[in-house]
């Protein structure tokens, strides 16, 4: 399948599935959709990336300014503190003013290619912003699923502690009546101590996952709902790779940087060529009635004006090899971007294939661990029944309970891994951004073109923007997280 084939069909299918699978009530922090919306609106890393892109946008008008007219004015006032002994007509004071207009006509292509390079880097910056958004979303999904998984693991370990506590009481009672030995009691006590230790570890993991969620989303996780099905996942790795080669933002950014580097070579080479400009200017001088004061009967004009216009050409003849060195440098930098583009392409292909394999493997693990849980439940029931008639020991029950716990933890972990791997696959394909997920963020999605278009042709020197302020939410006032599970 060619790199662009089927991309649009898959994208339409993705949006259609997203509309059905992810449409819920307006953004709430206890849904995955709400968590993503909160991160989209308030995550500091994502907001910083948007402002980084704005800084890149400004390179376009900066480069354009080099090809626009330049108008400047100067003024000067001087007082003569001591006249020369041989000066008879020198003024005692003078005021002068000068205005000059300079218009670049030809710069060897430097301005043209610098503007083109800047525009290519704007496109690269937009792709990098997409990559940042997808990365933040992937981290949010992982954090969201980590909280769900760790809450489930804490519940399972609490149930295990409760079951082992009951088992220890029963074992102790049977030991008192001589039905069991001290060894049976010791085994029960050992398993209960280990279970309590595992519960403590699980609670610590849950606290860590919740703090990570707060860091990314900016709010405390409440009762998290089960995530919606992931839309648009491919059936074959080749399809996923084809889409990624067309839409992966990191790869798109690398391509745009390579094109910009080509223009940089032209800019460097242009330094060998002549520069042509036209100019005009005027001068005004006022001697403030002091010109010729030392000459009796002299009648000097106390004010002078002059104007001039012309053309100026600068022809470089010898620059010590500077243009050649700069061009070679630009060529080496361009070659580096070409190789980096291939390296990123390799990385994207590897990411997609690995994510696809991890997703498929997680699905198989879910199937196998689901069967394992069912089998472990039946085994535990059978061991307990056999123990009641004396065919099984207390240790057999403890082992069966441990096997069930392990299988249940593996199942919730596999479900988490499958969802995270699936979303990572979408991110590697370039299909895990707000627009792809049909995300409701409480208003229009951020459009980088709006700011770019507002500054692209801005030539007013006295344009001011509001002073910058942080837009991300702070988490300093959020409470330290604990292992309490909402609703329990």
Q: What angle do CA 337, 341, 347 make, to 5 degrees?
A: 140
DSSP class of residue 456 equals T
The long-range contacts involving 481-488, CB below 8 angstroms and separated by at least 24 positions, are 481/207, 481/210, 481/211, 481/214, 481/220, 482/207, 483/154, 483/202, 483/203, 483/204, 483/206, 483/207, 485/151, 485/154, 485/155, 486/222, 486/223, 487/223, 488/155
Cα 251 to Cα 4: distance, rounded to the nearest angstrom:
14
Work out the mean pLDDT of the chain and round it to a whole number.
89
Cα 43 to Cα 129: distance, rounded to the nearest angstrom:
13
Is the pLDDT at 108 greater than 50? The verdict is yes
pLDDT value at position 16? 37
Per-residue pLDDT band for 298 (boundaries 50, 70, 90) equals low
Fold entry, domain 70-106+274-315 = Outer membrane efflux proteins (OEP) (2.20.200)
Nearest Cα to 15, choosing from 389, 444, 295, 433? 433
pLDDT value at position 242? 96
DSSP class of residue 67 equals T
pLDDT value at position 18? 36
CATH topology identical between 7-67+109-273+324-455 and 70-106+274-315: no
Is the pLDDT at 83 greater than 60? The verdict is yes
CATH architecture of 7-67+109-273+324-455: Up-down Bundle (1.20)
Decide if 463 contacts 169 (C-beta within 8 A): no
Cα 352 to Cα 426: distance, rounded to the nearest angstrom:
9
How much of the chain is helix, strand and coil, in % rounded to 5? 60, 10, 30
Q: How far is CA 451 from CA 54, 228, 448, in A?
A: 7, 34, 6
Structure-token pair, residue 332: 């080496």
pLDDT value at position 384? 86
Per-residue pLDDT band for 453 (boundaries 50, 70, 90) equals very high
Is the pLDDT at 470 greater than 50? The verdict is yes
pLDDT value at position 272? 95
pLDDT value at position 363? 94
pLDDT value at position 82? 82
pLDDT value at position 11? 38
Decide if 194 contacts 235 (C-beta within 8 A): no
Is the pLDDT at 311 greater than 80? The verdict is yes
Structure-token pair, residue 308: 């001039």
Cα 10 to Cα 121: distance, rounded to the nearest angstrom:
28
Cα 193 to Cα 29: distance, rounded to the nearest angstrom:
37
Question: Higher confidence at residue 25 or residue 392?
Answer: 392
SS3 463: coil
- Return phi, psi of residue 282, to 5°: -140, 150
DSSP class of residue 92 equals S
Is the pLDDT at 229 greater than 50? The verdict is yes
Is the pLDDT at 109 greater than 70? The verdict is yes
pLDDT value at position 348? 97
**Helix locations, 23-109, DSSP H:** 32-42, 44-57, 59-65
In sequence order, the 6+-apart residues with CB closer than 8 A to the CB of 423 are 137, 138, 141, 230, 432
Is the pLDDT at 397 greater than 70? The verdict is yes
Per-residue pLDDT band for 91 (boundaries 50, 70, 90) equals confident
Is the pLDDT at 259 greater than 90? The verdict is yes
Cα 317 to Cα 348: distance, rounded to the nearest angstrom:
48
What pLDDT digit, counting tens, does each position of 174-203 carry?
A: 888 888 889 989 988 998 999 999 999 999
Residue 17, exposed/middle/buried by CB under 10 A (0-12, 13-18, 19+)?
middle
110-176 helix and 182-217 helix, angle to the nearest 10 degrees: 160
> How large is the average pLDDT for residues 300-307?
89
Of 88-92, 117-121, 284-288, 416-420, the least confident: 88-92
pTM value > 0.85: yes
End-to-end CA, the chain: 52
pLDDT value at position 2? 40
**Helix locations, 248-312, DSSP H:** 249-269
Is the pLDDT at 19 greater than 70? The verdict is no
pLDDT value at position 295? 66
Domain ranges of the chain: 7-67+109-273+324-455, 70-106+274-315
Per-residue pLDDT band for 294 (boundaries 50, 70, 90) equals low
What pLDDT digit, counting tens, does each position of 112-167 carry?
A: 999 999 999 999 999 999 999 999 999 999 999 999 999 999 999 999 999 889 88
Q: How far is CA 399 from CA 196, 379, 396, 406, 413, in A?
A: 16, 10, 5, 11, 21
Q: Distance from CA of residue 136 to its chain's centroid? A: 6
Q: How far is CA 355 from CA 129, 143, 340, 426, in A?
A: 22, 18, 22, 9
Decide if 415 contacts 366 (C-beta within 8 A): yes
Per-residue pLDDT band for 301 (boundaries 50, 70, 90) equals confident
Number of helices (H) and strands (E), helices first, in the chain?
A: 11, 4
Is the pLDDT at 389 greater than 90? The verdict is no
């Amino acid at each position: 399948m060619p790199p662009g084939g089927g991309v649009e069909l898959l994208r339409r299918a993705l949006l259609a599935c997203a509309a059905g699978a992810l449409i819920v009530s307006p953004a709430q922090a206890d849904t995955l959709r709400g968590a993503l919306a909160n991160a989209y609106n308030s995550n500091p890393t994502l907001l910083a990336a948007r402002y980084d892109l704005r800084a890149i946008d400004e390179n376009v008008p900066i480069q354009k300014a080099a090809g626009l007219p330049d108008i400047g004015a100067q003024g000067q006032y001087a007082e003569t503190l001591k006249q020369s002994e041989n000066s008879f007509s020198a003024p005692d004071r003078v005021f002068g003013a000068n205005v000059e207009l300079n218009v670049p006509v030809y710069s060897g292509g430097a301005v043209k290619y610098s503007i083109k390079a800047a525009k290519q880097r704007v496109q690269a910056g937009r792709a990098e912003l997409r990559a940042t958004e997808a990365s933040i979303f992937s981290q949010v999904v992982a954090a969201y699923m980590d909280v769900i998984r760790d809450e489930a693991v804490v519940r399972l370990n609490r149930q295990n502690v409760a079951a082992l506590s009951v088992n220890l009481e029963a074992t102790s009672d049977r030991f008192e009546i001589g039905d069991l030995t001290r060894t049976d009691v010791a085994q029960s006590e050992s398993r209960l101590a280990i279970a309590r230790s595992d519960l403590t570890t699980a609670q610590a993991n849950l606290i860590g996952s919740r703090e990570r969620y707060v860091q990314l989303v900016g709010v405390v996780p409440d009762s998290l709902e089960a995530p919606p099905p992931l839309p648009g996942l491919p059936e074959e790795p080749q399809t996923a790779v084809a889409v990624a080669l067309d839409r992966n933002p990191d790869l798109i950014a690398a391509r745009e940087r390579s094109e910009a580097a080509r223009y940089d070579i032209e800019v460097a080479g242009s330094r060998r060529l002549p520069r042509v400009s036209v100019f005009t200017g005027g001068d005004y001088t006022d001697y403030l009635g002091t010109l010729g004061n030392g000459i009796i009967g002299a009648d000097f004009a106390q004010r002078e004006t002059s104007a001039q216009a012309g053309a100026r050409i600068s022809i470089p003849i010898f620059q010590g090899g500077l243009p050649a060195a700069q061009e070679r440098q630009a060529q080496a930098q361009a070659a580096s971007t070409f190789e980096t583009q291939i390296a990123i392409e390799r990385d994207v292909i590897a990411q997609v294939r690995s994510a696809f394999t991890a997703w498929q493997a997680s699905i198989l693990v879910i199937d196998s661990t689901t069967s394992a849980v069912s089998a472990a439940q039946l085994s535990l029931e059978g061991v307990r029944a056999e123990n009641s008639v004396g065919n099984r020991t207390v240790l057999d029950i403890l082992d069966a309970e441990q096997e069930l716990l392990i299988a249940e933890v593996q199942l919730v972990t596999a479900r988490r891994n499958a969802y995270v791997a699936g979303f990572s696959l979408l991110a590697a394909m370039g299909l895990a951004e707000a627009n792809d997920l049909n995300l409701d963020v409480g208003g229009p999605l951020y459009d980088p073109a709006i700011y770019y278009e507002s500054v692209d042709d801005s030539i007013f020197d006295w344009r001011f923007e509001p002073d910058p302020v942080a837009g991300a939410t702070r988490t300093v006032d959020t409470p330290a997280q604990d292992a309490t599970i909402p609703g329990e």
